[in-house]
Chains A and B, each alone.
Chain A
Amino acid sequence: MAENVIHLNDEDFDELLKTSEKPILVDFWAPWCGPCKATEPIIEALASEFGDQMTFTKVNVDDNPISPSKHNVQAIPTLLFIKDGAVVNQITGMVAKEKLEEAIKSVL
């Protein structure tokens, strides 16, 4: 189900940022976060729709504390939209699927 969303750890995160040619969406989540788990199917659906134009990833903030603190993420779910190595948009909290779609389209 979730193969179209890549699980990143702190090390691959930096590597992907440097090398990815496509824009990247990073979903910061944790297993204890209800809204994160509830958002998961929405992200997966968007990944299968936009996966060829954007790299969909997720970072478990429990196991990987460095990446969130580097990007000053203090709330989850937080979605970072990264283009050419720079954060171009950040969405915190649960949002409507249509809003996420718009945010994705605006970075493509």
Chain B
Amino acid sequence: MSEYDLVIIGAGPGGLTAGLYAARARMNVLLIEKAAPGGQVLVTDWIENYPGFPEGISGFDLAEKIKDQALTLGLDIETAEVQGLDLSGKIKEVILKEKRIKTKSVIIASGASPKKLGVGEDKFMGKGVSFCGTCDGPFFKDKVVVAVGGGDTAIQESIFLTRFAKKVYIVHRRDELRATKILQERAFANDKIEFLWDSVVTGMDGFFGVEKIHLKNLKTGDKSEIEANGCFIWIGILPNTEFIKGVVKTDESGFILVDTQMQTNVPGVFAIGDVRDTPLRQIATAVGDGAVAAFCAEHYVENL
């Protein structure tokens, strides 16, 4: 194919939804994903706030269903990592390792990645440090683990960890949670969970893996340590925007700025889901963004 109407970067729920809308609109569309379709949904154990699934659904199953729906409607998905974008001409170019793909419009749906603590946890990655309770929780059966954070992900995943761990300490830098009330209620009622308020993790050590976690109380300045084998980090996310640095406008954290049509400062280039500046990052919001962006991209291409 010499030139696409639309190239979508990233196959999370937002990208896949944009893809299925574009495919139904009979646009000449390609979705590029570097790993497996699904995105961060894949690391989510259980989803109960996405409409249409009253009993809830596992992240993997939901991702599979959205992918299957997009494929059924004729979306093409290519596995490759986008290295950069050349937006200088009227026809834009998506730069891959071995080729460039020409397209009239682009939707950036590259999502976000978990933020790290930056206290030397890198050497314990996969050796006690984790960002995925669903994947790694069962390795901590009857062990003590520390979870860091106070948002929805931290609280929901900590509750999940209590299925395996004998004790989950939630370390949070403030004295109240940001998480949705229903999750807070469940966490407070769970006797395996203990909150360590106003505290941060300052380091960790161990021989084969994590054995000890060092803490500091921000109010009193007191230092302490906990013997724990796991440290789960859920302190927020960073946008996956390395490959578009300086190409489209972002906020100071790197999240892409868009208008109500999901369009960036570059005409014909859209951004949706977790990678854009938005007050709420959910599957439901990403999916809505995807529909809007595909619709607006179609109009943009028609009027080109």
Contacts and interface: CB of A to CB of B under 8 A. Distances in A.
Nearest to A97: B79
Interface string B194-238: 000000000000001100000000000000000000100000000
B10 to A, nearest CB: 12
A19 B131 CA distance: 36
B132 interface: yes
Interface stretch (B35-43, B151-159, B271-279): B35-43
Contact of A35 (B34, B79, B128, B132): B132
Contacts, number: 90
Nearest to A29: B135
A17 to B, nearest CB: 20
A45 B44 CA distance: 25
A99 B42 CA distance: 19
Given A92-B125, A93-B126, A97-B79, A74 B138 contact: no
B242 to A, nearest CB: 13
Interface in B123-179: 125-128, 130-132, 134-136, 138-140
Given A32-B138, A90-B126, A38 B34 contact: no
Given A74-B136, A75-B139, A94 B36 contact: yes
27 contacts: A34-B43, A34-B58, A34-B63, A35-B36, A36-B135, A38-B37, A38-B38, A38-B63, A39-B36, A73-B139, A74-B127, A75-B125, A75-B127, A75-B135, A75-B139, A76-B136, A93-B126, A93-B131, A93-B135, A94-B35, A94-B36, A95-B35, A97-B79, A97-B80, A98-B34, A98-B80, A99-B81
Contacts of B79: 42, 45, 97
B42 A74 contact: no
Nearest to B134: A34
Contacts of A75: 125-127, 130, 132, 135-136, 139
A42 B11 CA distance: 15
B210 to A, nearest CB: 9
Contact of B134 (A32, A92, A94): A32
Contacts of A33: 134-135
B42 A96 contact: no
A106 interface: no
Chain A interface size range: 20 to 34
A77 B209 CA distance: 17
Interface string B40-54: 011110000000000
Contacts of B36: 35, 38-39, 41-42, 94
Contact of B126 (A34, A35, A45, A78): A78
B209 to A, nearest CB: 6
Contacts of A90: 126
A62 B138 CA distance: 9
A37 interface: yes
A51 to B, nearest CB: 18
Interface in B4-57: 34-38, 41-44
Contact of B38 (A34, A72, A95): A34
